[in-house]
Chains A and B, each alone.
Chain A
């Protein structure tokens, strides 16, 4: 069964901006799905329409088979939304925010309080539950929105850049938490600008640009399309120019750093051997960019972005 099924989705805003130009998207139940795209590509508009914060111009959206035109309330009850921007009262304490959210979904208060304790503890917010939310740190506010979205135990969790501005330690703990709830059966759709995040978490991916889906595939098959990876090499002696290596494309970045493009039919051992033959030894090495980032930029460039 599809957790989300979008067909021919169009959105034209009142100012004439055509944000979506006929999107088709399927997300299977239980999937961990990444929706990527540059700023203004249409990600948040898509999420806004699915969660009924934005009116669509044309097209169909079904959430677990429930059409948002004919069965909106059931569709809504399946979704938990973590929006990009903070959207809770800054004056209310965290506990009140999450319990009220449950109330809006018809969850009785005693059950809401039990769930609030469970999720606020899991997300490290229980000690701060009675503090006004404006006094929480940025990372805590984001986690509060995650806890809030889970209070009605949705089947589909949509996260719009949930880790923006969150430090790396908290980001990774949030990833572990999301992996856990996905393993427990919740379908997750994630938009992010951290492509490492998408690569690490998601099994399927769609890339949206200029209001169109330009790629929609499995993460593994997308990464398999990567033909060239660029590595940064820290070398042991200063060079005035890039060493002449006919089989490889090597550039000098500074006197102690080189960059090397490795195609799919080449390997790093051959590169190291060629460098060693010229008396150059590699002290350390790293990817120039995340693998998904290279693909992402390549796809956008192909699409005219």
Chain B
């Protein structure tokens, strides 16, 4: 990367990280609280009645999915709210008039989303350790999956932010698409519990691949092939990166 592009990239990332750290009560605290509640209710209260799943206590089985759920929602939320906020305040113009290519702007916002996703992931992991034991089965699978997932959902958030025209538009996708996909993506159950038809339907849900691959990285069990999950994640990330850069180049939602 050319040095001036590198400086611009660092500036965008620093700006993004400073933003979500400044409002930590809105960005870092809520996932810690909501995940604590999930662990108390689903893990400690209901979990013992469910028993063992794939050879693990229920609370331990759902822990990787809950961590991944936080990574997904926070990576997405960071980019969509920051990008739309920049559009709303017109501060996006600061970047649009500067001599930086769109791929640097996209990379900067995505890196900001990844940092928040990973940071919240660490916070939630720390919360999880109060309730259960977690050991890394494969560091590399865990690291690659969490990184690709946060990239993918940051890209999703950016596309949402590009098209959003009002504040309602940045909550519609998380509420009506992201939340159902996450809850139905095997966070709380193994798809083996589903009837064969719904097992096949579940395979169309990209979140299923991320949750299971991440669970494999931590516990060593998965409903699906980890290689397939990594391929799906990589292909989706490449496709959304191309879409983001194309939308930025066309000036969709940002240039008249």
Binding site for B on A (CB under 8 A): 13-14, 48, 51-55, 72-74, 76-77, 79, 81, 83, 85-92, 96, 100-101, 103-109, 148
Contacts and interface: CB of A to CB of B under 8 A. Distances in A.
Nearest to A79: B97
Contacts of B19: 91
B91 interface: yes
B3 interface: yes
Interface string B6-23: 011011101100110010
Contacts of A106: 3-5, 7-8, 99-100
B95 interface: yes
Contacts, number: 83
30 contacts: A13-B256, A14-B256, A52-B97, A52-B255, A53-B93, A53-B97, A54-B256, A55-B251, A55-B256, A76-B97, A83-B93, A87-B90, A88-B89, A88-B94, A89-B85, A89-B86, A89-B91, A91-B19, A96-B15, A96-B18, A100-B11, A103-B14, A104-B11, A104-B98, A105-B4, A106-B4, A106-B99, A106-B100, A108-B7, A148-B94
Contact of A104 (B3, B18, B94): B94
Contacts of B101: 73
Contacts of B89: 87-90
Interface residues of B, number: 30
Contacts of B5: 106
A88 B91 contact: yes
Interface string B230-255: 00000000000000000000010001
Nearest to A78: B99
Given A54-B255, A103-B8, A103-B11, A85 B90 contact: yes
Interface string B27-56: 000000000000000000000000000000
A176 B97 CA distance: 26
A198 B128 CA distance: 65
B122 interface: no
Nearest to B11: A103
B127 interface: no
Given A91-B22, A96-B18, A100-B15, A105 B99 contact: yes
Contacts of A89: 85-86, 89, 91
Count chain A CB atoms within 10 A of each CB in B22, B86, B97 and give the residue with the most: B97
Contacts of B256: 13-14, 48, 53-55
B149 to A, nearest CB: 28
Contacts of A96: 15, 18
Nearest to B98: A104
B96 interface: yes
Nearest to B89: A89
